Structure 1
Amino acid sequence: MIRVLVVDDDFMVARIHRGFVERVDGFEVVGTAPTGDEALTLVGSLQPDLVLLDLYLPDAFGLDVVTRLRAAGHTCDVLVITAAKEADAVRGAVRQGVVGYLLKPFTFADLEQRLQTYAAERARDLGDELTQEQIDAAFGSPTVGRAAVALLPKGLSTETAEAVGTALREAPDTLSATECAEAVGISRVSARRYLEYFVASGRADVTLRYGSTGRPERRYRAR
């Protein structure tokens, strides 16, 4: 189980977030904290794997709490959950190495997707000696994934692009639009739009599989 600490000064919001997390398989909430100081204390005593951190706390700005966590030697991951849309806050979160940045308000599906992606990344076996591609992936800069969706065409969402990128990277072989749609939970037409975007931007390759009848099937593979 992945142990989670929820940090939010609003009691009702924290309870909702706790309920969301506990609906996702493989995750358990080990505590909640309304302030930065209490978050630091609970991280020390509970040793969570992941902290869901609001930035607007009554005693500190959330990113300052991350700095204090690292200074204290805590290595737990941090997923920011906040209403802060300012570019400086986002850039600061990136510099602090947070694993995600989710804007309030959000749905259960929004958080579930990010938790599942986090769990998949956490479970990935990197081995002892790595190739450059594996190193790039470990640093969150795979050719298909978070770094590949910084600038998306109109009508495509970052969240769905991340999910499609994950499905494409984790496919044991090539992936069709239909298989991608089933894995991500979107329509085949939408899946193909994202897959073709990855091909057009150089993050994926496409091949044709010919059957006995009909059009050849387009199969996609992450570069």
Structure 2
Amino acid sequence: MGIRVLLVDDVVDVRRLVRTALRVRGGFEVLGEAGDGSEAVRLAESLQPDLVVLDLGLPDIAGRDVLTHIRDVSPVSKVVVFSGADTPDRSWITERVDGFVLKDSDLEYLVDLLESVGQRRDNEATLDLPRASTSAGAARRFVTQIVTEWKLEQLLDDAVLVASELATNAVTHADSSCRIRLSLSPAALRIDVIDEGAGTPDPRAAGSTDEHGRGLLLVAALTTAWGLEVLPGDGKLVWAELTRPT
């Protein structure tokens, strides 16, 4: 099966040009095309493509918003922006997509990038979570979807619990939005949660009447290993690994 692609651009000729280039290269399957943001979100949700080629200059929904909506409804999809002009919030967008190409670039470069990004789809998935009480639930749904697709149901309950605890820790104690990333190696399923908050997580014993405080002890008990990495600038990455069943 080829890399499954959704093309999003309000210019029909651009969609046709990219579609033709993908067909000539081979290894791609264009599942659908959208000319506005609303249709893009609807198709992303129904088709669950491997890859979305996204124009930011759509007529109905702003670029940041359509990207956020696509990430929400199809968290496993990779997104490559193919835009006619640079944007003031490019740094924000670049952090949340898998590639950013201006339309004055060589089309061959775009196709090379799409091929590279599409081939990485089987061993890594990410989801951005807001600083909100709903993030733990979103993390649980995301992990359930990805772990099930990776056919690691034996790890599902532990992975969901670990991801929920780490996301809750980032939102509640670090007071930060966060990014959850799942990656797969031959030996383990790894869960990363990246936030921009101050302080470091520290397992501590909770009293019998405490409502909180057991999360990291639970993570330590369920996982093969876990740890923390301080990132350049502000922020940290908390990681945990679950051994894959033989």
- TM-score by structure 1 length? 0.52
TM superposition shift of 1:24: 2.5
Aligned to 1:121: 120
- Gaps of at least 5 residues in structure 2 are 124-183, 195-246
Q: How much is the aligned-residue C-alpha RMSD, in angstroms?
A: 2.5
User: Which position in structure 1 is the counterpart of 2:66?
Assistant: 65
Q: Residue 52 of structure 1 contacts residue 81 of structure 1 at CA under 8 Å; is this kept in 2? A: yes
Helix, strand or coil: the match of 1:55? coil
- Aligned partner of 1:30 in structure 2 is 31
- How far apart in 2 are the matches of 1:29 and 1:18? 7
Q: Classify the secondary structure of the residue corresponding to 2:121.
A: helix
Q: Residue type of the partner of 1:113?
A: D
Matched to 1:37, the amino acid is: S
Provide the rounded CA distance (Å) in 2 between the counterparts of 1:120 and 1:75. 13
Number of matched residues?
132
Q: 2 CA distance for matches of 1:21 and 1:101?
A: 17
Larger relative strand fraction: 2
In 2, distance between residues paired with 1:5 and 1:73? 12
Kindly provide the CA deviation profile for residues 93-150 of structure 1, in whole angstroms up to 9, marking residues without a partner as x.
123x21100001233311122022213433566323389xxx99xx9xxxxxxxxxxx
Equivalent positions of 1:41-190 (< 5 A) are: 41-72=42-73, 74-86=75-87, 88-95=88-95, 97-122=96-121, 126-129=185-188
CA contact (8 A) 2:81 2:97 kept: yes
If each structure's helix is expressed as a fraction of its own residues, which one has the higher value? 1
What TM-score results when the alignment is normalised by the length of structure 2?
0.48
2:112 maps to a residue whose letter is Q
Tell me the residue number matched to 1:8. Answer: 9
| 1:198-219, Cα deviation, whole Å (9 max, x unpaired) | xxxxxxxxxxxxxxxxxxxxxx
Q: How many Å separate the matches in 1 of 2:25 and 2:122? A: 16
**1:6 Cα shift?**
0.4
The residue matched to 1:57 in structure 2 has which SS?
A: coil
What is aligned with 2:131? none
The runs of 4+ residues in structure 1 deviating greater than 6 Å are none
- C-alpha deviation, 1:73, in angstroms: 5.1
Q: Which amino acid aligns with 1:9?
A: D
Aligned partners of 2:28 and 2:3: how far apart in 1? 5
Structure 1: 5+ residue stretches without partners: 140-223
Asked if 1 retains the 8 angstrom alpha-carbon contact of 2:78 and 2:118, the reply is: no
Closer/same/farther in 2, CA of residues 26 and 54 from structure 1, 3 Å limit: same
Shift of 1:58: 0.3
Would you say 1:39 and 2:40 are equivalent positions? Answer: yes
Contact 1:20 1:111 in 2 (8 A): no
Q: 1:68 to 1:130 in 2, by over 3 A?
A: closer
Any idea what SS the aligned residue of 1:15 has? Answer: helix
The CA deviation at 1:92 is: 1.8
Following the alignment from structure 1 to structure 2, what is the Cα–Cα distance between the partners of residues 122 and 73? 13
1:98 is paired with a residue whose SS is coil
The 3 A distance-change label for structure 1 pair 91 and 37 is same
**Percent identity of paired positions between Structure 1 and Structure 2:** 39
Relative to structure 1, the CA distance from residue 73 to residue 100 in structure 2 (aligned partners, 3 Å threshold; closer, same or farther) is closer
